[in-house]
Structure 1
Amino acid sequence: MNKKSRTASDRTVAYAYCEEIIKKHSKSFYFAFSKLPKEKANAVYAIYAFCRLADDSIDEAETKEAQGDALTFLTNELNRFEEGHEPDHPVWQALRDVFERYDMSIEPFYDQLNGQAMDYHFKQPLTMDDLEEYSYYVAGSVGLMLLPVIASENHKDLEEDAIALGVAMQLTNILRDIGEDYQKSNRIYLPKELMDEENYSEAELAAQIINSSFIAVWETIAHRAEQLYEKFEQSLKYFDKDSQLQVALSAKVYGGILDAVRENDYDCFSVRNKTSAAKKVVFYNEVKNSL
């Protein structure tokens, strides 16, 4: 087997590894982006797999010291990658191919690690601005990573819109995972000022109380997420033609999580809210017919 064919084989294996990660951890994301042309889908899988590495470096470490060590290790790996000496690991091998094919920037990848560091040094956000800043680092950065792949011609002009979509998705995740974040990690992502303003206490959160105050806090954040989804949708026509359906579908599927929470009477504690398979098909047909 010659060097060229080995390289192609290694690349195929690396992308398959990344695809398995997204299939396992994000069915909604995979549902949307698996419908991209193969080369672009592979690039999305590689970017997602990197973000999963970053996320797991914090979530799977059992002590604060281990979390810090894992984050330092991953930062050093990214430094090596930037210098052209990526680690011998499928995720990094796939990412190298992505960087060779697309006009990628390394900065959002460092921003993603900064977002993980914010989780490592977690403090409840004080204001909505604080929450959106955090959401940029952990998710808006992902929008910037994906942008050269799905908006190859206009990506430099669409950065604000890509960030808006990422932040909207992160706010949606936070609203879906309120109970899990508190019960498993003792984290409250709801802004303290907003909780105080609506007279909703940590004690009520711990007791999983869903009342008018809780709903008011939840809806304030949900309304902001929906504003950001709308901002993104207005720019959709400037994304690559072969990516518009998939990007719009990802936004619809994630936005559908907010509706699922409402339909379940705002239960973010005992229900795993998600967009149903049937609803995904409805969204797919809606988006396809609108383009």
Structure 2
Amino acid sequence: MTTQLSAQDDFAFCEQIIKRHSKSFYYAFSRLPEKKAQAVYAIYAFCRTADDSVDENRSNVAQLVAIDKLTDELNRFAQGQEIDHPLWRALGVVFDTYEMDIEPFYDQLKGQRMDIAFSPPKTMDDVETYSYYVAGSVGRMLLPIIASDSKRDCTDAAVSLGVAMQLTNILRDVGEDYREKGRIYLPIEELKRVGYNVDQLANSQITDSFVRVWEHLANRAEVLYEEFLGFISEFDKDSQFAVLASAQVYRGILTSVRQNGYDCFARKNFVTKREMIRILADSIS
């Protein structure tokens, strides 16, 4: 009984993290059966911890110390050592319950290191490679939980969804990334091709050239969302709503940016509560 109560406390710790940081994901995945929902919460908590290792430390040295600490903990976890922390205890239950793969957890940490040693992506391939490590890897982590009964390999579909979501993040946060982090995630070669320069971006100029680059990435994201949707029937019946709702809500951010005149500099683009309810209702039907 004590062990069961302890596990519940550990998963509750992870649940609070997703609840605090992503209300839309929480709403979608909280509708999973309890054990699956708890597993998703634990994976989200790991990814959030990795992300915070970079975002909550200002200097590269502090960021590296934090990510090295998390890497060391993951190494110990992979070797079967017990780590006295709610996150790792919860993940231990997840790995005991599902046929988990440790590799995408390491890939996630590699993505965070790419952020620490950031250099602007030159090509679209560079953007997608980065997007795999920070987000496509999450799709692979979740796969044993949400596609446990599939007769087909859904790995590419799960990765496509993660990459599409990360491209959406990039397109939503162009202004914030530059203003707060001094970073440009749009491919430099594409910006040069259309004649849009860094000064224009720094001055939040929304020109035809900027829209062409933005739409180039958005169209790629749309293709990846469609690739994922083509596999939705392969995911576990009890998990289809959660992944479909998450995908459609996130995809709706692209529509929001377009409706706001491609202003991803001064405006915070998001799916309104009313629109989210409509999307979720469509996902159920």
TM score, norm. by length of structure 2 = 0.98
In structure 2, what is the equivalent of residue 115 of structure 1?
A: 111
Q: Distance in 1 between matches of 2:83 and 2:194?
A: 49
Query: 1:264 deviation in Å?
Result: 1.0
Query: 1:84 deviation in Å?
Result: 1.2
In structure 1, what is the equivalent of residue 92 of structure 2?
A: 96
Q: Distance in 2 between matches of 1:251 and 1:129?
A: 22
Code of the residue aligned with 2:163 in structure 1: it is: V
Q: Distance in 2 between matches of 1:39 and 1:200?
A: 49
% same residue = 55
In structure 2, what is the equivalent of residue 71 of structure 1?
A: 67
Code of the residue aligned with 1:107 in structure 2: it is: E
Code of the residue aligned with 2:94 in structure 1: it is: V
Code of the residue aligned with 2:47 in structure 1: it is: C
The residue correspondences of 1:130-169 to structure 2 (distance < 5 A) are 130-154=126-150, 157-169=153-165
Q: Distance in 2 between matches of 1:183 and 1:14?
A: 37
Code of the residue aligned with 2:206 in structure 1: it is: I
Query: 1:154 deviation in Å?
Result: 2.4
Query: 1:30 deviation in Å?
Result: 1.2
Is 1:261 aligned to 2:236, yes or no? no
| Secondary structure of 2:54's aligned partner | helix
Query: 1:169 deviation in Å?
Result: 0.3
In structure 2, what is the equivalent of residue 229 of structure 1?
A: 225
TM score, norm. by length of structure 1 = 0.96
In structure 2, what is the equivalent of residue 202 of structure 1?
A: 198
Query: 1:134 deviation in Å?
Result: 0.4
Which of 118, 127, 136 lines up with 2:123 in the alignment?
Answer: 127
Contact 2:152 2:234 in 1 (8 A): no
Give the ranges of 4+ consecutive aligned residues of structure 1 lying more than 6 Å apart after TM superposition: none
Q: Distance in 1 between matches of 2:236 and 2:83?
A: 31
Is 1:283 aligned to 2:279, yes or no? yes
RMSD between superposed Cα atoms in Å: 1.0
In structure 2, what is the equivalent of residue 39 of structure 1?
A: 35
Is 1:106 aligned to 2:102, yes or no? yes
Which of 23, 36, 40 lines up with 1:27 in the alignment?
Answer: 23
Contact 2:53 2:67 in 1 (8 A): yes
| Secondary structure of 1:265's aligned partner | coil
| Secondary structure of 1:70's aligned partner | helix
Is 1:246 aligned to 2:242, yes or no? yes
Deviations 1:112-131 (A, max 9, x none): 00000100110100000010
Code of the residue aligned with 1:128 in structure 2: it is: M
Is 1:49 aligned to 2:76, yes or no? no
Q: How many residues align?
A: 285
Contact 1:77 1:86 in 2 (8 A): no
Q: Distance in 2 between matches of 1:251 and 1:218?
A: 19
